[in-house]
Chain A
């Protein structure tokens, strides 16, 4: 239960970070925190009490295995998160080249 609450806490920290921070890099970090909270949630959802690695071992016939599917998803999500983070950092770098600042209150050309 504590772990679930911790995931939600991480998620809220990430949302706060994205919504309230004015710096592009901090916004990216907020998104990464949100992604990691979801990865953690996946692992927690897949956990079974007293479970072992999901590799079938003939010597331990009635062992409890943790859910491998959830762990696989967590891996896939890490890769997707990497792609998002890279492209966002690339765009943030280009924005820095144009304006010389990461502060979103100083670069706003768009409205609405």
Chain B
């Protein structure tokens, strides 16, 4: 089989440029190209599960350079999980955008930036080289912040500026760490760095870890570095909020943290403690701050911080079950958080507001939105049989097995608080009395409905069939995380 890995980067990049020209030919052409391209990538990333033997690594070499010198694209279990997640979510969001973006002007630019963001994320996930990781990360972050400012209202501009400043400072810290790593090992190939990292140099490694933690922690919005997220995510158009919260913070933040700390630098006990403490802080403070919000999307944005905390807690436990829970939760969060943002967008589309106090009783008027939102709320709060329950259960069990009872307790408390804050959303938006102003509310167009229904169905199906799903998709990813710095042998071994 020919190696199709570059397609995941070149296709969205190409489509992004073709779109800017194509809207002169047909007004609807950019939306069509965007959907077709993302659909193709989703099918490809899924079909790769049948072509890539479990535990093996797929490598694309640019030019004829040997793996150790050239810039490679590497697909192992972890990358594959993220690649599938990103493209699946991107497709459903692109479908949703068709109706949602109808009221905006300059749609071709929206779709073009959307494709650039997807290209950046796919690049981050697939690349096996630190510097190209940095370049793709900047591509995704810059197009993401341009999309946050897409509506050009004052609120959106401020949020985008804040996001850009914090994102750029984080990028500079990451770059600093990369330069130090390069001067320590003389290479930028991640596998080669893992192999040739000198055994001593304790202080240098400490500084590098610290800089990476601050940089990628800001990209992932872990609690002390989270200030940009609650502004940037609500300000963007709803599909972009879904994209940012659902996959961008994971591809740029969590994936990079896993790859660098587990596979390149090697995990230590101190680091795992740091991860757990940051994880618990994020999950508690995020959810407590969410409780006090009255803006629908801002509330959801704080929950993103909290759920990232769960993922980080699972990663910090660092037992196979903990990592399994973390990666499963990463996938689940990428399903239900976009769904919640899409329902929030649907409510905003129909009523023109997202202040909880101005809404109410939309259940009869918008059945699809109300029911999908209910499913997503139950899934994120960890109610069986939805998918969020199992991943949270794995993380909590892993904490208990590792003897971290306080952390397990914090995770349970976080889950209960999550439930209460989503009950607030359900009460104020979908139940209760319908205000007179909203008598004529209609259900959103069917493009939006289809996308929301699909995501809700995924929540339920993955929750019911989780053993199959875990053994098929998550376990290979756990294997590649658990390989630790053995990643180097996996990548360089065959050459």
Number of A-B contacts (CB under 8 A): 80
Question: Is A98 positioned at the interface, with any CB of B under 8 Å from its CB?
Answer: yes
**Chain A CB within 10 A, most for which of B145, B176, B231:** B176
Give which listed residue, B164, B179, B231, contacts A91 with CB less than 8 A: B164
The number of chain A residues with a CB under 8 A from chain B is 34
Interface size in chain B (residues, C-beta < 8 A): 31
Give the residue name and chain of the A residue nearest to B160 (CB).
Answer: A91
Q: Which residues of A contact B231 (CB under 8 A)?
A: 110, 112
* Residues A110 and B138 in contact, CB atoms below 8 Å apart: no
Q: Which of B145, B152, B176, B188 contacts A87 (CB 8 A)?
A: B145
- Which residues from A are CB-within-8-Å of B176? 11, 38, 41
Taking A87-B145, A87-B164, A110-B231 as contacts, is the C-beta distance between A95 and B169 under 8 angstroms?
Answer: no
B119: min CB distance to chain A, Å: 14
Whether, in the assembled complex, B270 has its beta carbon less than 8 Å from a beta carbon of chain A, the answer is no
Contact B164 A45, beta carbon cutoff 8 Å:
no
Do B164 and A84 touch across chains, with their CB atoms under 8 A apart?
A: yes
Contact A45 B135 (CB under 8 A): no
A-contact bits for B425-462, CB 8 A (1 contact / 0 none): 00000000000000000000000000000000000000
Q: How far is the CA of A99 from the CA of B227 in the complex (A)?
A: 23
Q: How far is the CB of B110 from chain A (nearest CB, A)?
A: 15
> Do A110 and B159 have beta carbons less than 8 Å apart?
yes
* A70-112 CB contacts (< 8 Å) to partner B: 70, 73, 76-77, 80, 83-84, 87-88, 91-92, 94-95, 98-99, 107-110, 112
- One digit per residue, 1 when the CB lies within 8 angstroms of any chain B CB and 0 when it does not, for chain A 1-20 equals 00000000001001100100
Whether the Cβ atoms of A91 and B157 lie closer than 8 Å is yes
- Tell me if A15 and B169 are in contact (CB < 8 A): yes
In Å, the complex CA distance between A28 and B155 comes to 19
Which residues on the A side are within 8 Å of B168 (C-beta)? Answer: 31, 34-35, 84, 88
* B154 contacts chain A at the CB level, 8 A cutoff: yes
With A38-B179, A95-B161, A98-B154 known as contacts, the answer to whether A76 contacts B230 (CB < 8 A) is no
Contact A91 B149 (CB under 8 A): yes
The 8 A CB mask of A30-50 against B (1 = contact, 0 = none) is: 010011001001100100000
Quick check: B158 and A45 within 8 Å, CB to CB? Answer: no
Say yes or no: A110 contacts B169, CB within 8 Å: no
Residues in A whose Cβ lies below 8 Å from that of B294: none
CB neighbours (8 Å) of B183 from chain A are 45
Which A residues are in CB contact (< 8 Å) with B131? 73, 76
**A41 contact from B149, B169, B179, B227, Cβ within 8 A:** B179
Contact in complex: A31, B169 (CB < 8 Å):
yes
In the bound assembly, the distance between CA atoms of A91 and B159 in angstroms comes to: 10
When A15-B169, A18-B169 are in contact, do A84 and B142 touch as well, CB less than 8 Å? yes
A27 vs B168: C-alpha distance in the bound complex, in angstroms?
11
* A104 → chain B closest CB, angstroms: 9
Chain B residues whose CB sits within 8 angstroms of the CB of A64 once the complex forms: none
Nearest CB on A from B454, distance (A): 33
Given A11-B176, A73-B131, A91-B149, is A110 in contact with B161 using a C-beta cutoff of 8 Å? no
A112 in contact with B227 given A27-B165, A88-B161, A98-B157 (CB within 8 Å):
yes
Complex: how many Å from CA A73 to CA B178?
11
Closest to A111 in B: B231
Q: Does A69 contact B (CB under 8 A)?
A: yes
Question: In whole angstroms, how far apart are the Cα atoms of A91 and B188 in the complex?
Answer: 34
Since A98-B154, A112-B289 are in contact, a sample of 13 more A-B pairs with Cβ atoms closer than 8 Å, ordered by chain A residue number, is A14-B172, A38-B172, A38-B179, A45-B179, A77-B175, A88-B161, A91-B149, A91-B157, A91-B160, A94-B152, A95-B157, A99-B154, A112-B231
The 12 listed contacts between A and B (C-beta, < 8 Å) are: A41-B176, A42-B179, A69-B188, A76-B135, A80-B138, A83-B142, A84-B138, A91-B149, A99-B154, A109-B154, A109-B158, A110-B155
* Complex A-B, nearest 4 residue pairs according to Cβ-Cβ distance, in ascending order: A45-B183, A98-B154, A80-B138, A34-B172
